[in-house]
Amino acid sequence: MQQPNKMTSEMENPPQSGAKIYLRLLSYVGASWGYLLLSFIGYALYSSMEPALAALLKHIVDVVSDGKITESRILIPAAILGVFIVRGIGTFLGGYFMAQVANKVVFDLRTSMFNKMVQMPSSYFHSIPTGRLLAKLTYNTEQVIGSITQAIRIILREGLTVVGLLGYMIYMNWKLTLLFLLVIPLIGIIVSYASKRFRRLSARIQNAMGGVTDVASEAIKGHEVVKIFGGSEYEIERFRQAAQENRRSQLKMEKTRSLNIPIVQFILAFAMAILIWFALSPTISQHMTPGDFIAFLTAAGMLGKPIRQLTDVNSVLQKGIAASQSIFEFLDMSVEPDDGKILAQSLKGDIEWKDMSFSYPNAEKQALKKITLSLPAGKTLALVGRSGSGKSTMANLIPRFYNLDEGELNIDGVSISDYQLDSLRTNIALVNQQVVLFNGTIRENIAYGHLRDASDDQVIEAAKAANAWGFIKELDQGLATMVGENGVLLSGGQRQRIAIARAILKNAPILILDEATSALDTESERAIQMALDGLMENRTTIAIAHRLSTIENADIIAVVDHGEIIEQGSHTELLAMNGAYAQLHNQQFSETAD
């Protein structure tokens, strides 16, 4: 099991700079520039109404102090209503179209991440816990949405408001405005300090979040094991630690933010105090009416909120940058290498291993050592041997789930790495040791992927050959029965037969059966075996089995031990050799005789 905070391999990539990441994020935003423009117009409307409010106030004060109330009694209230109507329209346009932009960005990020994910090499899926991957797709992209909407909204709306208000203040009294502006750099310094801290914390929170989902998803998937082995306390503790780490980081982040706000506010108040002190000096404000004076101070006061929000935008932005950093790192990872140029069109299925060795990424020991073997087209190879000897590894190298280290693996005389990957795989049907079913109907599971357009008759025929039709037809919904996540609504043997039917339907020249009938009773196994025998006749088959009785008829039987082939030959030849195979055979034979 993974430690909650274990760094994953992608963390080792050199970190990109914040500006670079933000620019890249902006390129996603730029794709919906139309909505962005509408949103901009909305916010421009909104912010233009702020100085309008200050100007209205000036008007009211001047009217009252001049005693000319009557003419303005209708006009001023109407203007106030007008201002708020325009402001409301602005708020709606700005907010709605910004949400359009943000959701489009998240949609684009998610889909490109998923597209990437299905192309990742098998070794990647083994190197990263599922929860971490899912957190990237969900939590991290949500963080990006927050960054986009909030940050751009604040920058546009509050930024424009600041521009509008400052413009109005300069228009009223530029000297006073200049004084006010002298304080702004001070605010900038404090903000840049806080933002650095935020970015570090955000990255930590995301790691901690990944930890939370890792532990949870493992406990969910393994709930039966957790229960029967009394693992709940251990899992609870593990989850508590991950959640605790998350909580600590969140609190730290909040502390920095909460301190940031009052400090910025105080600086603003300080600026206001200085401003009023100067404003009260007769030389600066001699030409100002009481209305001018009030309106100026009001505008300066109204600057407080947008400036505060603009400084806070950094934390939002940094969160988003931290989230998109890990997304972009993921998007930049290299996918399964596919340099092969040769299109594998209907291969014959001549398979040849020459001194082939392989070790799993990050593994110390070689999983396969100097395998030399040749399997002529249409023949059957059975791999037998102890658990962990390397049989599944040998099978998984044929569809190139992993790349070879040394030696050759040729099909029809061409190295498998010279074939174009997709075309190679269309020639191979595989029944995994761990059956994989998708949450859909039985029909969808048999006719999966490229097979999706198969007719009902073809699907039924494949189900019959896999000895599955008997149980399928007794189900109320037949082929339309839902199988549940990974087929939990079916029995282990039923699942296996669905997987076999899928492989049969594929009708590929190379068939790999990795313990394909291990979950079946002897009778069902025999029935399938007969169907499979027919199926194997004109295709190259690699069958892996622990029950030797199922592979006795194989053309070649190879005994794998510690990653090496220690014996090969037909059943009778191997028995006559009286070596490892004979020993295995005698063991099983005496067991069944008991």
36 or 545, CB closer to ligand ATP? 545
309 or 392, CB closer to ligand ATP? 392
Choose one: 6-14, 425-433, 565-573, 580-588; the region binding Mg ion (CB under 5 A). Answer: 425-433
Q: Which does 524 bind (CB under 5 to 8 A by kind): ligand ATP, Mg ion, none?
A: none
Q: Which does 363 bind (CB under 5 to 8 A by kind): ligand ATP, Mg ion, none?
A: ligand ATP
**Residue 274 φ then ψ, to 5°:** -60, -40
Q: Which does 175 bind (CB under 5 to 8 A by kind): Mg ion, ligand ATP, none?
A: none
Taking Cα atoms as reference points, which of 524, 396, 423, 521 lies closest to residue 468? 524
Per-residue b/e over 315-350, b at no fewer than 16 CB within 10 Å? Answer: bbbbbbbbbbbbbbbbeeeeebeeebeeebeebbbb
Q: Is 364 in the site for ligand ATP (CB under 6 A)?
A: no
Q: Which does 298 bind (CB under 5 to 8 A by kind): Mg ion, ligand ATP, none?
A: none
Choose one: 83-91, 109-117, 202-210, 426-434; the region binding Mg ion (CB under 5 A). Answer: 426-434
What are the DSSP calls for 132-162, one per residue?
Answer: HHHHIIIIIHHHHHHIIIIIIHIIIIIHHHH
- Four-CA torsion 368, 372, 377, 378, nearest 10 degrees: -60
Between CA 258 and CA 239 the distance in angstroms is: 28
Size of the site for Mg ion (CB under 5 A): 2
418-437: which residues touch ligand ATP (CB under 6 A)? 433
Q: Which of 188, 388, 470, 484 binds ligand ATP (CB under 6 A)?
A: 388
Q: Which does 51 bind (CB under 5 to 8 A by kind): ligand ATP, Mg ion, none?
A: none
Between CA 506 and CA 453 the distance in angstroms is: 11
Between CA 22 and CA 358 the distance in angstroms is: 41
Amino acid in the structure at residue 181: L
Q: Is 389 in the site for ligand ATP (CB under 6 A)?
A: yes
How is the beta sheet containing 368-375 ordered, strand by strand? 368-375, 351-358, 406-411, 414-415
Q: Is 433 in the site for Mg ion (CB under 5 A)?
A: yes
Between CA 277 and CA 283 the distance in angstroms is: 12
Residues contacting 448, CB < 8 A, separation 6+: 438, 502
Size of the site for ligand ATP (CB under 6 A): 12
Q: Which of 363, 474, 590, 591 binds ligand ATP (CB under 6 A)?
A: 363
DSSP conformational letter for 568? E
Least distance (Å) between residue 402 CB and ligand ATP: 8
Pairing assessment for the beta strands 556-561 and 368-375 based on DSSP bridges: unpaired
Least distance (Å) between residue 5 CB and ligand ATP: 22
Least distance (Å) between residue 201 CB and ligand ATP: 34
Q: Which of 147, 249, 393, 568 binds ligand ATP (CB under 6 A)?
A: 393
Q: Which does 246 bind (CB under 5 to 8 A by kind): Mg ion, ligand ATP, none?
A: none
- E-strand spans in 386-455? 406-411, 414-415, 428-431
Per-residue binder mask for ligand ATP (CB under 6 A), 92-131, x = binder? ----------------------------------x-----
278 or 360, CB closer to ligand ATP? 360
Q: Which does 367 bind (CB under 5 to 8 A by kind): Mg ion, ligand ATP, none?
A: ligand ATP
- Token pair, residue 40, equals 């901009």
Q: Is 112 in the site for Mg ion (CB under 5 A)?
A: no
Chain residue at closest Cβ approach to Mg ion: 392
DSSP conformational letter for 482? B
Q: Which of 367, 411, 466, 505 binds ligand ATP (CB under 6 A)?
A: 367
Between CA 209 and CA 5 the distance in angstroms is: 10
Q: Is 141 in the site for Mg ion (CB under 5 A)?
A: no
- Token pair, residue 303, equals 């600057």
Q: Which does 360 bind (CB under 5 to 8 A by kind): Mg ion, ligand ATP, none?
A: ligand ATP
381 or 527, CB closer to ligand ATP? 381
Between CA 567 and CA 578 the distance in angstroms is: 11
363 or 593, CB closer to ligand ATP? 363
| Residue corresponding to tokens 């900038």 | 188
Q: Which of 298, 318, 392, 496 binds Mg ion (CB under 5 A)?
A: 392
Choose one: 104-112, 359-367, 441-449, 581-589; the region binding ligand ATP (CB under 6 A). Answer: 359-367
432-491: which residues touch ligand ATP (CB under 6 A)? 433
Give the H or E element holding residue 437. Answer: none
CB distance 544 to 395 below 8 Å = yes
Between CA 399 and CA 325 the distance in angstroms is: 33
Q: Is 360 in the site for ligand ATP (CB under 6 A)?
A: yes
Between CA 155 and CA 434 the distance in angstroms is: 52
38 or 367, CB closer to ligand ATP? 367
375 or 516, CB closer to Mg ion? 516
Choose one: 305-313, 324-332, 399-407, 428-436; the region binding Mg ion (CB under 5 A). Answer: 428-436
Choose one: 299-307, 382-390, 475-483, 495-503; the region binding ligand ATP (CB under 6 A). Answer: 382-390
Between CA 523 and CA 537 the distance in angstroms is: 22
Q: Which residues pair with 39 in a beta bridge?
A: none
How far is residue 521 from each of residues 517, 518, 543, measured CA to CA in Å?
Answer: 9, 8, 18
290 or 388, CB closer to ligand ATP? 388
Q: Is 278 in the site for ligand ATP (CB under 6 A)?
A: no
Q: Which residues pair with 419 in a beta bridge?
A: 342
Amino acid in the structure at residue 362: N
Query: Beta-carbon neighbour count of residue 123 at 10 Å?
Result: 15
7 or 363, CB closer to ligand ATP? 363
42 or 390, CB closer to ligand ATP? 390
CB distance 384 to 559 below 8 Å = yes
Amino acid in the structure at residue 179: L
Least distance (Å) between residue 96 CB and ligand ATP: 48
**Residue 512 φ then ψ, to 5°:** -115, 120
Write out the residues near Mg ion by the rule CB under 5 A.
392, 433
Write out the residues near ligand ATP by the rule CB under 6 A.
126, 360, 363, 367, 387-393, 433
